[in-house]
Chains A and B, each alone.
Chain A
Amino acid sequence: MILEVKNLLKAFGGLVAIRDLNLAVNEGEIVGLIGPNGSGKTTLFNLISGVLKPDKGEIRFNEIDITGLKPHKVCQGGIARTFQLTKPFMQMTTLQNVMIGRTYGSEPVRSMRQAEGECERILEFVGLGGKRLSLVATFGLVDRKRVEIARALATKPRLLLLDETMAGLNPSEMEDALRLVKAIGDSGITLIVVEHVMKVILDISSRLMVLNYGEIIAEGTPQEVVRDEKVVEAYLGE
């Protein structure tokens, strides 16, 4: 088991965003996380990545308790993430963006030259090979998302949290992104993927979890989950 979350609770004032949540992720899985707006998906990512501290509960990564660690410690420990609203380093080049991940993440490389070589391969992998010296501020949404994924990959994660990578993409861009996410999964990185586009999530997930009001209401293979009555109810109402 690579990630284990036990009895996690997070409330903002009176609003309980994550309610007594338990989940386990095995190495090599691609777990899809779905749920209506406001169901707590991003909050869960923020708790795992250390941006938020839980009120109660425990998060274990590789059998090690990482509850309440700061985000940079979590990243150095091997969990990377992307943001729902992309946050690439705008006034820096593509290569510099990725170099930061490579020189500060887990298994960081101190030598700039070595890091540069490895980062160029990562940029090829995400399809930004020809734009290594361009400023990210000049990019459109698709390339910004690529930069963010490349930067996360450069930190050498064992677990990668992808927060709505497909949002705002057109169908053909989505095909590309889908191929990329699958390739990342094939490289052995465990993935938790938050996505609204059902077609995508059903296609890539080996297992699906459904979050509603901060609780997991269903879990299983994509085929099982979409037939689940509670899930249909959460999405469509009674």
Chain B
Amino acid sequence: MSNWKHLSVSGGIIVLLILVPLIFTRTDILTFFFLTLLYITLSQSWNILGGYTGQINLGHAAFFGAGALAARYIWLHFGLPLPLAILGGGLAATIFAMIIGFPAFRLRGIYFVIGTLVLAEILRLVFYTILPRADVMPMRLLGAYSLIPRYYLSLLIALLTVAAVYWISRSRLGLGLMSIREDEDAAEASGVDTQRYKLLAFAISTFLTGLAGGIYAYYSAAFRAGGLFEPVWTFDAVIIVFVGGVGTILGPVIGSVFFVLLKQFLSLYLPGGIHVAVFGVLFIIVVLFLPGGLVELITRFRKRTSGGSIQIDS
């Protein structure tokens, strides 16, 4: 019963999302939807490693940036087809992940957090230095620029990411990843090759992040390479996951909608950059008082109104 309900609700939402460009012709509204979907991919991919596997990646920007830069070069500068470029972006991100993951996961705890943080900062500085000039789309592309294909691509990748997490959460793989989050010693003692599964989660997570980067490379008319590695790409994803609900499927989705809406709203009424402080405070409040995020808030509310049985959805 409830499975059918879930299926029809998700189906309905997907149909509505497909219709969005037909309903809304205003660029700002379509951009809002595009960004929300991009952030769903960005945060949901972080959630695979941070929420399900318990490995805090503070260098998410490194993989977003690697994906974006690789895709942009493959597409614009080498002139290969766009789908190939976006896939290339995903692969580039995964390759970086394996380079840092092999040594970092041999050690437990803080080393992975520091390793990823440092990687993103190094890449940021390197690319501001070696590619200091803005990468601008050529005129022939800017002239024909349309948001609609960008929107659909963003929708496709976001659906792919959410579907991947849905599948993981119900699979043997998901059980293995969660066991690592809960207790690595006990996971090993139960037969889980923790090193291998941490790397696998990292590879899946960064591949999807790289795809998000690829979409950004297709979307952005102009960027500076170093800017793709800015810490905001990491911390926006982290904040969305925690505000939405860490280690849940719906959390990053709800979090992204909330985040992009609030960000647009705040940047309208507050002087530039202040919204970052607001999100910082919000993050602290959620972590302290609502560890399950908005998803937990909704569950609590529904339990109170329906008095229904407790559902555990992990």
Tell whether A72 pairs with B183 under 8 Å between CB atoms, given A100-B175, A135-B312: no
Q: Could you say which of B170, B187, B188, B314 contacts A112, with CB atoms under 8 Å apart?
A: B170
Residues of A within 8 A of B193 (CB): 70, 72
Contact A72 B194 (CB under 8 A): yes
Contact B183 A103 (CB under 8 A): no
Tell whether A89 pairs with B182 under 8 Å between CB atoms, given A75-B191, A96-B175, A100-B176: yes
Contact A80 B189 (CB under 8 A): yes
**Complex: how many Å from CA A209 to CA B205?**
49
Q: Interface code A82-126, partner B: CB below 8 Å = 1, 0 otherwise?
A: 010001111111001001110111101010100100000000000
Q: Interface code B294-314, partner A: CB below 8 Å = 1, 0 otherwise?
A: 000000000000000000101
* B186 interfacial by beta-carbon distance below 8 Å: yes
Residues of A within 8 A of B201 (CB): none
- Interface residue count on the A side (C-beta < 8 Å): 36
* B164 interfacial by beta-carbon distance below 8 Å: no
* A49 interfacial by beta-carbon distance below 8 Å: yes
* B98 interfacial by beta-carbon distance below 8 Å: no
* B3 interfacial by beta-carbon distance below 8 Å: no
* B172 interfacial by beta-carbon distance below 8 Å: yes
Tell whether A75 pairs with B189 under 8 Å between CB atoms, given A96-B175, A99-B175: yes
Q: How many A-B residue pairs have CB under 8 A?
A: 95
Give the one of B170, B186, B187, B188 with max A CB within 10 A: B186
Contact A75 B186 (CB under 8 A): no
Residues of A within 8 A of B178 (CB): 89, 91-92, 96
Q: Interface code B242-275, partner A: CB below 8 Å = 1, 0 otherwise?
A: 0000010000000000000000000000000000
Contact B182 A91 (CB under 8 A): yes
Contact A133 B312 (CB under 8 A): yes
**Complex: how many Å from CA A115 to CA B170?**
13
**Complex: how many Å from CA A51 to CA B194?**
13
Closest A residue to B185 by CB, please name it. Answer: A87
Give the one of A70, A72, A75 with max B CB within 10 A: A72
Tell whether A100 pairs with B190 under 8 Å between CB atoms, given A51-B185, A93-B312, A135-B312: yes
**Complex: how many Å from CA A70 to CA B195?**
11
Residues of A within 8 A of B192 (CB): 72, 100, 104
* B234 interfacial by beta-carbon distance below 8 Å: no
* B171 interfacial by beta-carbon distance below 8 Å: yes
**Complex: how many Å from CA A173 to CA B193?**
34
Could you name 11 residue pairs across A and B whose Cβ atoms are closer than 8 Å? A71-B185, A72-B191, A75-B191, A89-B182, A89-B186, A91-B314, A92-B178, A92-B179, A105-B190, A110-B172, A151-B190
Given pairs A87-B186, A91-B247, A152-B189, 15 additional interface contacts (CB within 8 A) = A49-B189, A72-B190, A72-B193, A75-B188, A83-B186, A87-B189, A88-B186, A90-B183, A91-B182, A92-B178, A96-B175, A100-B175, A104-B172, A104-B192, A108-B191
Closest 9 A/B residue pairs (Cβ): A89-B182, A104-B191, A71-B188, A87-B186, A75-B191, A105-B191, A103-B172, A87-B183, A101-B190
